[in-house]
Structure 1
Amino acid sequence: MKHEWRDGNEVRLLENGEEFFPRVFEALREARRRVYIETFILLDDEVGRALLQALAEAVARGAAVDVLADGFGSEPLTADYRAALAAAGVRLHLYEPRRRLFGLRTNLFRRLHRKIVLIDGRLAFVGGINFCSDQLLASGPLALHDFAVELRGPIVADIERFVARSRSAAHPPQTSADEDRAPGPARVRFVTRDNHRHPGDIEREYRVAIRAAQREIVLANAYFFPGYRLLRDLRNAARRGVRVTVVVQGKPDLRIVPIVVRWLYHYLIPAGVRICEFRTRPLHAKVAVVDGRWATVGSSNLDPLSLSLNLEANVVIVDAAFGAELRTRLLQLLARDCVPVTAARVPKRTLWRIVSSVLVFHFLRHFPRWVERIPAARPRIEHVEADAHADR
């Protein structure tokens, strides 16, 4: 599917589960024809159970409901929950579910990492928020900070056509998009990454915007370990006078994250790139704003998994009002929750750091090409029937 620009869309920014889940559940209560959800993580917790209730009510009103969850991210999903979905008439599908081998997971790579909600062909949600309580700030100090967008307008038809074409398993969703023509100010493009036709599309959107930047780039990404070319574009932008700010995890959910990203400080900070560590809780965002007008929100991290292996989905938005709002939210995070990494805080350049940096840069530069040589089989999507041996 070719990614086209669509004019006349309404876009609403949603921050964290506190804003995202109420809007999704409210929209689900209005569903009458079709509901389709893709998520990396679906769990049997307070959020998952609220979703189950909303989906069951949609089915009772006559809507056809499909949920596609990743087999790795949603592995903990209980048999009771699966049975409840089936009993309610919700069709659950798992992307690449695999049994553990000697207790180890075998589906580590090429995950379904997209987060998409489609309702009646008139409304869509795209972003980085999963259906689990970890996305609620009220869940505690390890709550994930993230963003999503609510979309109305012609772009919804593009998203639904993409979903219909990308599904070849049982019960593929029918296209029901009505090409909503309600006027909106935003120009939007739905961009995906896969292992066949669109392996580099999301990274390309970032690079085009970064190279065109004239004043400011504000980028927040949970797992910031991009390819060499994108790093070079950021450094070059800073050198030509663009104010470049990169927000990374400072209180990580994975221990390796700060170790890896700090390898990049020597390359970026001396060139004028401002790096700030988000210290309040784990950062899960995948967003950027360029010159206050171009913006992207989605599921794609800027790391080798998202840029070279996983299935991802972002929206690119050109709209001054939306760009200003996202920029304001990010600046608030910077002022309230971030610590700048000054030149004095950059680790000293020891022989080991010089050697390891060279190795890391070469890895970043060549990793995408290496991955392309790994055969990418067509995905296996398994329809989940009710489990007769549900948990008691």
Structure 2
Amino acid sequence: MTVKWTSGNQLELLENGEEFFPAVFEAIRNAQRSIVLETFILFQDKVGNALQEVLIDAGRRGVSIDVTVDGYGSADLEPSFIEAMTSVGIRVHVFDPRPRRLGMRTNLFRRLHRKIVVVDGELAFVGGINFSADHLGDFGPTAKQDYAISIRGPLVDEIVRFEAEVLAPVRTQFSWRKLRWRRRGEAQVEGDTRAALIVRDNGRHKNDIELYYRIGLRAARHDIVLANAYFFPGYRFLRDLRNAAKRGVRVRLILQGEPDMPAARFVATMLYDYLLSGGVEIYEYCERPLHGKVAAVDGVWSTVGSSNLDPLSLALNLEANVMIYDREFSTLLQKRLERLIDDHCRLMERQPRPRRKIQRVFVGVFVFHFLRRFPAWAGWLPQRKAELKSVPASADETYDGKP
């Protein structure tokens, strides 16, 4: 898929599951022709069960439905849960389903990490929110803070084309035109947002998301506000952040202060001295685990998507972000992030004396060499074709987690 910028889109920012899930479920309830859904995680909790219910209702009324989950992130779905969907004609696909070894998942690398929903080829959702209850505030202290967007307009056509390419291997005689549908006489959506779908894969688009991030950082003149859950980017990315701060741009990073995985914060802190010494402001979000993958630059450019800024997302996983040029949307996102900073973050301060313990110096040297060379090293890791396995529809051939 080639990158295509489109104008005339309407975007809506959706914060957390409280805004995202009702919007998606309502769209599915109103679907008349097609639904395509991709997610890294689908859990059998109240959110996953609610999603299953609305999908089954849509399947029973004849809507064409494709659901794709990742074999690592959604490894614990019970056969009965999937069979309830396939029995009404829903096509369920699993990316890289592999059996456990000694009780452990073996499909560790190159995960399908995208979160995309397309309904009737008219309305799309892209972001970082999985279909699981831990994206709702009532989940408790470990509920995740995250973002997604709903999209209407020409960009939906590009997302439809992309999904048609993804599904083509498991859908014979299948093309994007079968997903694109407008009711007769329906007015075209008229918006003023320019946007593009940027994907990261293990083929022709290995570095696209990082490249467009860096373009945004280099173009910044006044403000950069970036929130990312798993922050361990490449050396060039870090250098762009420092260079922006040195030329007078206010650079603010929102990182995890109460991480869902403690190791995520530990590796990020390895970078603090380098960034703080260059004038970058670092804030740790302490209200609950941060799961967002968003940024806003100068209140004009912004991005929302699934890609973290760590080696997995930047060099291994299949990801999707939307890059946006729109002052109203980007200003809104920036204000939402500044609200997090004001209400729920603590400012990290540079140590008065640099931490020079031998072990920290050694770790720091290792970290920077790792960051500089990881994309090349990633090519040595297990690499399989981005193949989907469709779950058999018959009751006696349900998905058992094996290919």
TM range (shorter): over 0.9
1:68-147 → structure 2 map (5 Å cutoff): 68-147=68-147
- Cα 1:344/1:181, change in 2 over 3 Å: same
CA positional deviation for 1:81: 0.8
- Cα 1:183/1:239, change in 2 over 3 Å: same
Q: Secondary structure of 1:58's match? A: helix
Partner of 1:38: 38
CA positional deviation for 1:255: 1.6
Distance in 1, matches of 2:167 and 2:233, equals 29
Amino acid at match of 2:342: A
Partner of 1:196: 203
Work out whether residues 33 and 63 of structure 1, in 8 Å CA contact, stay in contact via their aligned partners in 2: yes
Q: 257, 260, 263: which one pairs with 1:256?
A: 263
Work out whether residues 10 and 193 of structure 2, in 8 Å CA contact, stay in contact via their aligned partners in 1: yes
CA positional deviation for 1:380: 2.6
TM-score (norm. length: structure 1): 0.96
Query: Are 1:319 and 2:326 an aligned pair?
Result: yes
Q: Secondary structure of 2:156's match? A: helix
Partner of 1:245: 252
Amino acid at match of 2:248: G
**Deviations for 1:36-77, whole angstroms, at most 9, x for unmatched residues?**
000000111111111111111212222101100000000011
1:247-286 → structure 2 map (5 Å cutoff): 247-286=254-293
- Cα 1:241/1:92, change in 2 over 3 Å: same
Q: 323, 335, 355: which one pairs with 2:362?
A: 355
CA positional deviation for 1:351: 2.1
**Deviations for 1:89-128, whole angstroms, at most 9, x for unmatched residues?**
2111110000011222110000000000000110100000
Q: Secondary structure of 1:163's match? A: helix
Distance in 1, matches of 2:206 and 2:125, equals 23
TM-score (norm. length: structure 2): 0.94
**Deviations for 1:260-316, whole angstroms, at most 9, x for unmatched residues?**
000001110011100000111110000000001100000000000000000000000
Gaps of 5+ in 1: none
Partner of 1:297: 304
CA positional deviation for 1:227: 0.4
Partner of 1:228: 235
**Deviations for 1:215-236, whole angstroms, at most 9, x for unmatched residues?**
0000000000000000000011
- Cα 1:178/1:349, change in 2 over 3 Å: farther
Distance in 2, matches of 1:44 and 1:134, equals 12
Work out whether residues 266 and 346 of structure 1, in 8 Å CA contact, stay in contact via their aligned partners in 2: no
- Cα 1:345/1:145, change in 2 over 3 Å: farther
CA positional deviation for 1:137: 1.2
Q: Which moved more, 1:219-228 or 1:53-62?
A: 53-62
Distance in 1, matches of 2:67 and 2:318, equals 16
Q: Secondary structure of 1:223's match? A: coil
CA positional deviation for 1:379: 2.0
Q: Which moved more, 1:305-314 or 1:43-52?
A: 43-52
**Deviations for 1:198-250, whole angstroms, at most 9, x for unmatched residues?**
00000000000001100000000000000000000001100111000000001
Distance in 2, matches of 1:369 and 1:304, equals 11
Work out whether residues 147 and 294 of structure 2, in 8 Å CA contact, stay in contact via their aligned partners in 1: yes
Percent of aligned pairs sharing the same letter: 50
Q: Secondary structure of 1:167's match? A: helix
Distance in 2, matches of 1:62 and 1:134, equals 31
Aligned residues: 391
Query: Are 1:214 and 2:221 an aligned pair?
Result: yes
Q: Which moved more, 1:382-391 or 1:115-124?
A: 382-391
CA positional deviation for 1:372: 3.0
CA positional deviation for 1:390: 8.0
Work out whether residues 168 and 175 of structure 2, in 8 Å CA contact, stay in contact via their aligned partners in 1: no
Work out whether residues 129 and 135 of structure 1, in 8 Å CA contact, stay in contact via their aligned partners in 2: yes
**Deviations for 1:340-389, whole angstroms, at most 9, x for unmatched residues?**
10114897222221221111001000100121354633123111125549
Q: Secondary structure of 1:12's match? A: strand
Distance in 2, matches of 1:344 and 1:241, equals 22
